Amino acid sequence: MSEYVPPRVWKWEQPSGGQFASINRPVAGPTHDRQLPVGKHPFQLYSLATPNGQKVSIMFEELLEKGHKDAEYDAWPIRIGDGDQFGSGFVAVNPNSKIPALVDRSGPEPVRVFESGAILVHLAEKFGEFLPASGPERAETLSWLFWQMGSAPFLGGGFGHFFAYAPEKFEYAINRYSMEAKRQFDVLNRRLAESEYIAGPDYTIADIAIWPWYGGVALGRSYPGADEFLATHEYEHLMRWAREIDGRPAVKRGRIVNKLTGDPSEQLHERHDASDFALRTQDKLQPADEAEAVKDDAI
């Protein structure tokens, strides 16, 4: 057992240890001046291919797949391991300093949108896709969308952090968050036993929000060994759904946007054009742009 006795008032005195400790601070606001780049398209996305970031690039690719040419976007990488999220331009778009963040420049004035759930609703309403306009179907979709926003921090910040990133393996913390992660997988599995997609017979922003987190762990992409540790193969309905969504062309594209690590053919650092997927993944560019150190699949 730890001998740590908390002082009466907590102070930020030493690094907490573990991966990402160097970027964690107990204060908000910018640390440096840096303007964000702006491309030619109506939507400017500032992101990284973590599960939270993938939701939005998948949404854009799904809209384009449906033929919405007005959904063209520029996606710029925010290197959170280097502290890009604390630059003045980024903080002006998201005062919470987290990816993803969007500037919608399709109207007379730029509109900032932060928090992945808000971005998905903004785009769904703008294009009239993936979110029923009214009635019980809309309520069901929003319920599962907000379920994800409340639940995934226990999967990522709780389970994933203590399983993969903490400086030591703390049994109490791993047990606590494994219990909750498995309970959440069971919630989804039971839902997907009775429904093709999360909110009903149609694919919606609830699937787009939930898949990168829960599909990512179940497909063994997020934290090495986590799928076996949590026995995710036992959630058969969830596995059926995870594999099916993984095969969607827009998902195959969206999940590699702003991806800075892993297989070079699955890294598209910046996305400015539909042709970038064929021409500008890292395997096609100079070897000088080699894979970067931060693992972005599972933060």
Ligand X SMILES: N[C@@H](CCC(=O)N[C@@H](CS)C(=O)NCC(=O)O)C(=O)O
Per CB under 6 A, the segment of 96-104, 161-169, 219-227, 275-283 that binds ligand X is 96-104
Residue 135 CB, shortest distance to ligand X, in Å, is 26
Q: How far apart are CA 123 and CA 129, in angstroms?
A: 8
121 binds ligand X (CB under 6 A): no
In degrees, rounded to 5, the angle at the alpha carbon of residue 294 between the alpha carbons of residues 293 and 295 is 115
Structure tokens at 255: 């999940």
**Can residue 93 be called a binding residue for ligand X (CB under 6 A)?**
no
In the list 49, 71, 99, 260, the residue contacting ligand X (rule: CB under 6 A) is 99
Using the rule CB under 6 A, give the single segment among 91-99, 220-228, 253-261, 278-286 that binds ligand X: 91-99
Instruction: Pick from 41, 98, 248, 255 the residue near ligand X by CB under 6 A.
Output: 98
| Binding flag, residue 80, ligand X (CB under 6 A) | yes
Residue from 65, 82, 115, 196 in contact with ligand X (CB under 6 A): 115
> Rule CB under 6 A: is residue 49 a binding residue for ligand X?
no
Q: How far is the CB of 299 from ligand X (least distance, A)?
A: 4
Any contact of residue 113 with ligand X (CB under 6 A)? no
What is the distance between the terminal CA atoms of the chain, rounded to a whole angstrom? 28
Interface residues for ligand X in 208-237 (CB under 6 A)?
Answer: none
- Out of 44, 52, 54, 232, the only residue in the binding site for ligand X (CB under 6 A) is 52
Q: Could you tell me the smallest distance in angstroms from the CB atom of residue 152 to ligand X?
A: 8
- Which of 44, 54, 57, 85 touches ligand X by CB under 6 A? 85
Token output for 39: 């491309």
The interface region with ligand X, picked from 97-105, 128-136, 197-205, 261-269 by CB under 6 A, is: 97-105
What binding mask, one character per residue, do residues 14-43 give for ligand X by CB under 6 A, x or -?
---------x--------------------
Of 118 and 274, nearer to ligand X (C-beta) is 118
50 touches ligand X by CB under 6 A: yes
Q: Does 120 bind ligand X (CB under 6 A)?
A: no
In the complex, least distance from residue 35 CB atom to ligand X, rounded to whole angstroms: 19
User: How would you label 236-249 residue by residue, b for 16+ Cβ within 10 Å and e otherwise?
Assistant: ebbbebbebbbebe
Nearer to ligand X, 116 or 232 (CB): 116
Which residues are near ligand X by CB under 6 A?
Answer: 23, 50, 52, 80, 85, 97-100, 115-116, 299
